[in-house]
Amino acid sequence: MSANRPAAVVVLAAGEGTRMKSKTPKVLHEIAGRSLVGHVVSAARELDPEHLVVVVGHGREQVRAHLEEHYAGTRTAVQEQQNGTGHAVRMALEELGQSLEGPVVVVCGDTPLLSGETLRGLTATHAADGNAVTVLSAEVPDSTGYGRIVRDGVSGAVTAIVEHKDASEAQRAIKEINSGVFAFDGGLLADALGKVRTDNSQGEEYLTDVLGILREAGHRVGASVAADHREILGINNRVQLAQARALLNERLLVAAMTAGVTVLDPSSVLVDVTVTFERDAVIHPGTQLLGATHVAEDAEVGPNTRLRDTVVGRGARVDNTVADSSVIGEGASVGPFAYLRPGTRLGAKGKIGTYVETKNASIGEGTKVPHLSYVGDATIGEYSNIGAASVFVNYDGQKKHHTTIGSHCRTGSDNMFVAPVTVGDGAYTAAGSVITKDVPPGSLAVARGQQRNIEGWVARKRPGSAAAQAAQAAAEGVDGEN
């Protein structure tokens, strides 16, 4: 394997991507939780290259910042003007500033479905066949727009790549195309790039001309045919972006199902590349699993749920829920119709029920917040029950404050906990209370107005109304019984 280790991988990403019709550079558009260039860089990293250089041009400040933030250790080379793919590779080699011993792999920044496995296959073929250059080719149903692989009629050896715009009628009929991915001998590449001319229909330095140059100089030129042409799909517009998303999603879900996850309706489930599963997890329709989300064994998620960076514990049930940066404990239950905002931690066997919103809240083992509540900036102990329609009043208009509720508490319905406030272990609170003072352990807190009944008010103030008649009938009924 180390013999195949590339001296460098060069990612071409200087083009504008005009057809995206976007203010964002093409390679920064995302599918499955990763930018297009991020997918390519991730695949390239599987080759463990000594250098990884991304050629940037259009929107280079944005692309550079993105690479620095997410792909530290990636170098960039600037191509001021897009004078062609050959010129772009020249800029990369200049940036490296040294002659490279060993293979140099070139990939395009807009082919997000290309796998590390396919790249490894390419470098293995390149080394095994002793080639000066090996192109990753593919048979496609429609080769319009691509460079065609021209082979010797007798030996079948690759002789050249001809760009669509420069191809003859006969060459245009060829279905084997250049994916834009190559393995080169580093030294020979640098020499050959110096000989590339610009006398073609686009007036550009074509990287593809290197093949003909090397072959004429007597070097071995080969091709490695991709098993699935869809893997080299290049993104030029938003239709292709959606197609690539769908293909990648299918690939991710097939891998999950193969590993023992049940996906009831794969066509309605979206996953990011960074999502992980354990076996016997069940994903219901209409579910989006994003970022670093993890679904543990026997957990069930969905339908109609969106989880981002959320861990779902073993055997937990999450139904019709939106959650972000949250941890859901083993055997816990969430939803239907819950909103877990960042920093929610629900303990094992806990419950966040219907129409409940939580944020920065630690809810202990076996504790339940079953109905219609807001729990923000709170710590709740174990096996407590929060009454329906409670609000953790955390904001005084300027600052957020914390509420602490102990273990084995029973708080009444329609409580306001005005933070900062603490309710001790084993305490109760009465329904309708506004809790502004700490409640000692084991106490009952009652914080509401006393009820008073003004008898006969309806007969005096609403005479003849339906209410007055009903009251009258009730009074007579009571008399009749006597």
Interacting residue with ligand UD1 among 28, 108, 271, 375 (CB under 6 A):
108
Interacting residue with ligand UD1 among 13, 43, 252, 316 (CB under 6 A):
13
CA distance 411 to 30: 46
Sort 14 into a burial class: Cβ within 10 Å, 0-12 / 13-18 / 19+.
Answer: buried
CB of 281 to ligand UD1, least distance (A): 37
Interacting residue with ligand UD1 among 146, 182, 374, 392 (CB under 6 A):
146
Q: Which stretches of 74-207 are DSSP H helices?
A: 85-96, 116-128, 169-172, 186-193
Which CB, 206 or 277, lies closer to ligand UD1?
A: 206
Which CB, 179 or 403, lies closer to ligand UD1?
A: 179
How many residues lie near ligand UD1 (CB under 6 A)? 27
CA distance 12 to 32: 21
Sort 285 into a burial class: Cβ within 10 Å, 0-12 / 13-18 / 19+.
Answer: middle
Interacting residue with ligand UD1 among 82, 320, 379, 407 (CB under 6 A):
82
CA distance 18 to 235: 11
CA distance 239 to 193: 34
Q: Is 371 a catalytic residue?
A: yes
Which CB, 161 or 248, lies closer to ligand UD1?
A: 161
CA distance 468 to 51: 88
CB of 151 to ligand UD1, least distance (A): 15
Interacting residue with ligand UD1 among 4, 76, 85, 325 (CB under 6 A):
85
Does position 14 bind ligand UD1 by CB under 6 A?
A: yes
Does position 84 bind ligand UD1 by CB under 6 A?
A: yes
Interacting residue with ligand UD1 among 87, 90, 251, 351 (CB under 6 A):
87
Which CB, 159 or 379, lies closer to ligand UD1?
A: 159
CB of 234 to ligand UD1, least distance (A): 4
CA distance 425 to 406: 4
Q: Which has the closest alpha carbon to 251: 235, 237, 238, 233?
A: 233
Segment near ligand UD1 (CB under 6 A); pick from 107-115, 275-283, 317-325, 461-469: 107-115
Segment near ligand UD1 (CB under 6 A); pick from 112-120, 204-212, 341-349, 449-457: 204-212
CA distance 388 to 374: 10
Does position 363 bind ligand UD1 by CB under 6 A?
A: no
Which CB, 114 or 378, lies closer to ligand UD1?
A: 114
11 neighbors 44 (Cβ within 8 angstroms)? yes
Does position 83 bind ligand UD1 by CB under 6 A?
A: yes
CB of 16 to ligand UD1, least distance (A): 8
Sort 170 into a burial class: Cβ within 10 Å, 0-12 / 13-18 / 19+.
Answer: exposed
Interacting residue with ligand UD1 among 32, 76, 150, 163 (CB under 6 A):
163
Does position 329 bind ligand UD1 by CB under 6 A?
A: no
Interacting residue with ligand UD1 among 4, 123, 125, 208 (CB under 6 A):
208
164-203: contacts with ligand UD1 (CB under 6 A): 177-180
Give counts: helices (H), strands (E), the chain.
10, 37
CA distance 294 to 280: 13
Which CB, 53 or 363, lies closer to ligand UD1?
A: 53
Phi, psi angle pair for 76, to nearest 5°: -125, 150
Phi, psi angle pair for 322, to nearest 5°: -115, 125
Residue type, 222: G
26 neighbors 237 (Cβ within 8 angstroms)? no
Q: What are the residue numbers of the active site?
A: 371
Q: Which residues bind ligand UD1 (CB under 6 A)?
A: 12-15, 55, 79, 82-85, 87-88, 108-110, 146-147, 161, 163, 177-180, 206-208, 234
